[in-house]
Structures are given as C-alpha cells and as structure tokens.
Amino acid sequence: MGKVKGKSGPLARRPDNSAFKQQRLPAWSPMLTATTVLPFFYLMALICMLLGVWLLLTVQSTQEIKLDYTEAGTCDMCFEKRKNVSNAAQICTCTVVFPIKKALKGDVFFYYGLQNFHQNLRRYMDSRDDAQMVGRKTNLKNPSSYCEPFMKDPNGLPIAPCGAVANSIFNDTFTLTYHGSSGPSIPVPLLRKGITWYTDKNVKYRNPKNDNMTLAQVFEGTARPLYWQKPVYELDLLDPTNNGFINDDLIIWMREAAFPNFKKLYGVLYRAKQPFTKGLPAGNYTINISYNFPVQYFRGRKEVVLTTLTWFGGQNHFLPIAYLVTSCLILLIAIILTVVWWKFGKNGKRLEE
C-alpha cells in the first residue's frame, strides 16, 4: 500500500495498514430481519412442542408412589415418643400398610424423603470436614473448626465424622414386605449399595489407611457423633466393606440437598427373585419402620417414595409441561410478530417494494 519501509521518509510515522489496526477485520454483521427471526421463532416453537410431547409421553410411562409416614399407621405412637428428647435412645418401630394398585414395572427405586429439613443452610453445609472424610489421619483427630459445635464430644475426643451434617444423619430404617393376593408375605429385597455417585464412593470418601488394623482400631480415639447410636465403623453390620466413611447411607446423607424438601435414595429393588423380576407386583405392602429420626422439632414430615425410572430419571411432570407452555408462548409471540411485521413493520414494507 505504498508504505515506506524503515523508519525514515515522510511516512515514517504512518500507522500500519493492517486490517486490525484500521478496524477493517472481516466480520459477520448479523441483523434481526423478518426472514431470520420469524422462521427461527416458528422453529423454536416446533422444537419445544416436539420435546414437550415426547417428554410428556415418557413421563407418563413412569409410576410413583408417595407415602407420608410421619404419623401414618402405627407411627403416630413413635411420633409422639420422639417428641421427648429423653426417649431418644429408646427403640420404636412401627408399620405402615399401603396398596399398590398397578404393578411398578422395571427397576423400582426406594427413597426416603424429608420436608422442611434445611440441609442448605450455609452454616450447616459448612459444618463438615471433607479432609477428615477423605481419610486424612491428621484431620481425623483434629477436625476442622467448621465442625463446631460438633467437633469434639464433651470428653474432648474428636468426633468422626464431625460436623452438623453427619451428626444429623437420617437414621430411620425400612423393611418392605409384599403381601400378594395369595401366598405368604414376602420381604421385598432392596439393594442398598451402589446407590451413590461413583466419585463419592471412590474418591471423595475414604477410610483412613489401616495397615492390618480393623476399622475400630483406626477410629480409636475418636468419638461418634452426638446423635448417633452406633459408631461410624459399625454402620453396616452385614457388610464390613460398607463401614466407616464409605458407608453408602452416610455418603448419601452427606450430599446435601439444595432445597428444604428433598428425597434421598434408600435402596433399589433387587429383581433376581420372583415375584420381583419384573418390578413390584400389584398388591398390599407393609413398611416396617425403625422410627428414629425426630422431625417434629422443626415441623418436618417424613415420607417414602417408590418410583420407576425412564432414561431421564424419575417422574417429573414439570419439564414436559414447561416445554409445552414455552412452545405455546413462542408460537404466540411468533404469530404476533408476524402480524405486526406484516401490518405495521417498516422493514417489511420496504422489503416489499
């Protein structure tokens, strides 16, 4: 471009003629024209509509049974019992009977749910020590100060696992029994393992390294959380590998819920044996509950949920309906825009001419 090379001559201080410096970079200048916006809106409406319908159909194929057992069945007795703190150590079991009218086909998931339990309070969520739960020995004996006031027990022993989260673990246990129309009652087998995130079970929670020591020895010198009946290394008496910090129930509890009403996975139907190979058959069921977790202090409710799943999870009516509503709104907007464009639009008219 006739630029003088070097630093002399009358054009020595002339700026470079590069596209960047002259602000002439090749560029794409999109513009909102009727020909792009209107088809886009219709397309959006269509896509949302299709998605909505598809999701709705999918959701329709799932089944869900919710059962609030806070005071249901014989549990009202336990409910009353738990109102008094001094009874905390006493065992209380109760039974709730419920029918399943239509068989739950496929994998059936068993959840416990809590309402009005705030796992999402800032100080509650902070009240844990991940370093302790990943098995660091120093942290085992010296938990993070965030765990206060659940850091040390009255005797000054460090609590393992420390903090409010672990301390408040949900400790009701359930056994589900099937009463078929004929024959004896059959206990419904539940798989209570492999129900956590892979990373939680294998990375995030580790027991302290024990060189030929038993878990009990490893946790020696620590105290169990104040509200616990059992120490952490005896959480699952049946399966020694499911003890300590890597206990599935503990892990699931430690994954705090985002909202005050939540459900957490308790177990999955084990479908190896009849009559549960195809899911839960219709009929009457009873749940035996070891009723430990007091909810009346905070006006909470407890429930169990049985559900089947599809590719995108459990029963969730919000998403398909939201998609359908959105689709309708977009369609409405698109129609309005088209009318406006056709009747009043300045660009529209000018394009016509």
Partner 1 sequence: QYLCAKHEERRVRANDREYNEKFQYASNCIMTSKYNIVTFLPVNLFEQFQEVANTYFLFLLILQLIPQISSLSWFTTIVPLALVLSITAVKDATDDYFRHKSDNQVNNRQSQVLIRGSLQNEKWMNVRVGDIIKLENNQFVAADLLLLSSSEPHGLCYIETAELDGESNMKVRQSVSVTSALGDPNNLALFDGEVVCEPPNNKLDRFCGTLYWRDKKYTLTNQNMLLRGCVLRNTEACYGLVIFAGPDTKLMQNSGRTKFKRTSIDRLMNTLVLWIFGFLVCMGVILAVGNAVWEREVGSLFQSYLPWDPPVDNFLFSAFLSFWSYVIILNTVVPISLYVSVEVIRLGHSYFINWDQQMFCSQCNTPAEARTTTLNEELGQVEYIFSDKTGTLTQNIMSFNKCSINGKTYGTDPLDFTPFNPLADPNFCFYDDTLLESVKVGDTHTHKFFRLLSLCHTVMSEEKSEGELFYKAQSPDEGALVTAARNFGFVFRSRTPGTITTTEMGRPVTYTLLAILDFNNIRKRMSVIVRNPEGRICLYCKGADTVLLERLHPCNQELMNITSDHLNEYAADGLRTLALAYRDLSEDEWEAWSESHRCADKAASCREDRLAAAYEQIEQDMMLLGATAIEDKLQEGVPETIAVLSLANIKIWVLTGDKQETAVNIGYSCKMLTDDMTEVFIISGHTVQSVRQELGSVCLSLSLFSLQCPPPSPPPPPSNLMDNISGEFALVINGHSLAHALEADMETEFVSTACACKAVICCRVTPLQKAQVVELIKKHKKAVTLAIGDGANDVSMIKSAHIGVGISGQEGIQAVLASDYSFSQFRFLQRLLLVHGRWSYLRMCRFLCYFFYKNFAFTMVHFWFGFFCGFSAQTVYDQYFITLYNIVYTSLPVLAMGIFDQDVPDQRSLEYPKLYEPGQLNLLFNKREFFICIAQGIYTSVVLFFVPCAVLSNATQSTGVPLADYQTFAVTTATTLVIVVSVQIALDTGFWTVINHVFVWGSLGLYFTIMFALHSQTLFKIFPNQFHFVGSAQSTLLQPVVWLTIALATAICIVPVLAFRFLKVDLKPQLSDTVRHTQLVRQKKRKPVGRSVGGAWRGVGRVSEGRLGTRGSRRSGYAFAHQEGFGELITSGKNMRLSSLALANFASRHSSSWIDTLRRKKHSHAHTPPSASGESSPPLYRLPLLFLAGE
Q: Find tokens 């977009």 and name the residue.
A: 330
Nearest to 304 by CA among 114, 116, 111: 111
State which residue, 15 or 183, has the beta carbon closest to partner 1: 15
Nearest to 268 by CA among 316, 240, 307: 307
Q: How many CA atoms lie within 13 A of 259 on its CB side?
A: 5
Q: How far is the CB of 203 from partner 1 (least distance, A)?
A: 5
Q: What sign does the CA torsion over 327, 332, 335, 338 have?
A: negative
Q: How far is the CB of 94 from partner 1 (least distance, A)?
A: 22
State which residue, 32 or 237, has the beta carbon closest to partner 1: 32
Q: Which residues pair with 9 in a beta bridge?
A: none
Q: How far is the CB of 309 from partner 1 (least distance, A)?
A: 6
Q: How far is the CB of 222 from partner 1 (least distance, A)?
A: 18
Strands 93-100 and 104-105, how do they pair?
Answer: unpaired
Long-range pairs of 74-80 with CB within 8 A, sequence gap ≥ 24: 75/289, 75/291, 78/289, 78/291, 79/291, 79/296
State which residue, 240 or 313, has the beta carbon closest to partner 1: 313
* Six token digits for residue 329: 């709104």
Q: How far is the CB of 133 from partner 1 (least distance, A)?
A: 8
State which residue, 36 or 185, has the beta carbon closest to partner 1: 36
Q: How far is the CB of 71 from partner 1 (least distance, A)?
A: 18
CB of 45 closer than 8 Å to CB of 337: no
State which residue, 55 or 289, has the beta carbon closest to partner 1: 55
Q: What is the DSSP string of 191-246?
A: E-SS-S-HHIIIII--PPP-SS--HHHHTTT-B--TT-SS-GGGS-SS-GGG-GGG
Q: How far is the CB of 158 from partner 1 (least distance, A)?
A: 16
State which residue, 60 or 120, has the beta carbon closest to partner 1: 120
Query: Phi and psi for 348 in degrees, rounded to 5?
Result: -60, -50
Q: Find tokens 């294998």 and name the residue.
A: 202
State which residue, 95 or 326, has the beta carbon closest to partner 1: 326
DSSP 152: B
